[in-house]
């Protein structure tokens, strides 16, 4: 039996981690076996790579190094956590995945989609999300929400111009198959209701719900 792979994407400060948690709790109420994980990270070695990526001391990091490190962390995470869970029939909920690299490194760092896709091909090794939930929050709003946090990591410290390009990238990617765009202009509970409404028919169709 193969499981079901759902990723959550969106700009920094869009609230996707909270939405992922709410959805996991909801699915668990039905007795569904859920694995919650995140990128960059999710496994021992990938979490170590995460620390390098987000460390503000590494401000000088080249964009190519950054893209390769995100892909390296992903290669580890896919092989150690995601694939094994899916092959056990679990529902995997992942906070960020491939689309973040396409948006942040492809658009934000201007490396371009073809190159970032190419780097990530061996990393994902055919393991692509069944569904991607894209939490749409306009970049200016997400940016000001993010600035309410006290400590910023390396990527969060980038300016509004960078975050606008990332958003533009997500919007372009949201037209791809398997993408569910969720408008997050309401409360976090309203947003969760919309996510459940959109996912329920898909999960029922797969015999999961």
Residues that bind ligand TYD (CB under 6 A): 12, 17, 39-40, 54, 70, 95-96, 100-101, 104-105, 155-156
The residue nearest ligand TYD at its CB is 104
Q: How many CA atoms lie within 13 A of 153 on its CB side?
A: 10
Helix (H) or strand (E) holding 130: none
How far, CA to CA in Å, does 92 sit from each of 2, 84, 156, 175?
11, 10, 26, 23
- Give the integer Cα–Cα distance in Å for 22 and 39: 18
How many Cβ atoms are within 10 Å of 157's Cβ, its own excluded?
Answer: 13
Which CB, 46 or 85, lies closer to ligand TYD?
Answer: 46
Q: Enumerate residues 6+ apart whose C-beta is below 8 A from 93.
A: 6, 7, 8, 20, 23, 24, 34, 35, 36, 37
Which CB, 156 or 168, lies closer to ligand TYD?
Answer: 156
CB 11 within 8 A of CB 167: yes
Which CB, 130 or 156, lies closer to ligand TYD?
Answer: 156
How many Cβ atoms are within 10 Å of 22's Cβ, its own excluded?
Answer: 18
Which CB, 29 or 62, lies closer to ligand TYD?
Answer: 62
Minimum Å distance from CB 96 to ligand TYD? 4
User: Does the bond joining 40 to the residue before it have cis omega, within 30 degrees of 0?
Assistant: yes
Which CB, 3 or 15, lies closer to ligand TYD?
Answer: 15
Minimum Å distance from CB 199 to ligand TYD? 20
Minimum Å distance from CB 59 to ligand TYD? 14
- Give the integer Cα–Cα distance in Å for 118 and 90: 28
Which CB, 4 or 162, lies closer to ligand TYD?
Answer: 162
Minimum Å distance from CB 187 to ligand TYD? 19
Minimum Å distance from CB 105 to ligand TYD? 6
Q: Is 145 exposed, middle or buried (0-12, 13-18, 19+ CB in 10 A)?
A: middle
Minimum Å distance from CB 128 to ligand TYD? 14
């Amino acid at each position: 039996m193969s499981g079901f792979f759902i990723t959550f994407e969106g700009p920094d400060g869009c609230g996707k981690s909270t939405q992922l948690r709410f959805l996991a709790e909801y699915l668990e109420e039905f007795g569904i076996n859920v694995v919650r994980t995140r990128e960059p990270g999710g496994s021992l070695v990938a979490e170590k790579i995460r620390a390098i990526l987000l460390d503000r001391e590494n401000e000088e990091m080249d964009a190519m190094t950054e893209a390769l490190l995100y892909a390296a962390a992903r290669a580890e995470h896919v092989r150690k956590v995601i694939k094994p869970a899916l092959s056990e029939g679990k529902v995997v909920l992942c906070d960020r995945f491939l689309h973040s690299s396409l948006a942040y490194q492809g658009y934000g760092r201007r490396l371009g989609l073809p190159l970032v896709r190419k780097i990530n091909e061996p990393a994902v090794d055919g393991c692509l999300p069944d569904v991607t939930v894209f939490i749409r929050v306009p970049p200016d709003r997400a940016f000001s929400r993010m600035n309410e946090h006290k400590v910023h990591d390396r990527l969060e410290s980038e300016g509004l111009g960078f975050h606008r390009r990332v958003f533009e990238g997500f919007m372009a990617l949201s037209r791809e198959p398997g993408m569910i765009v969720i408008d997050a202009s309401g409360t976090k509970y309203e947003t969760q209701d919309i996510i459940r409404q959109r996912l329920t028919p898909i999960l029922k169709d797969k015999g999961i719900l």
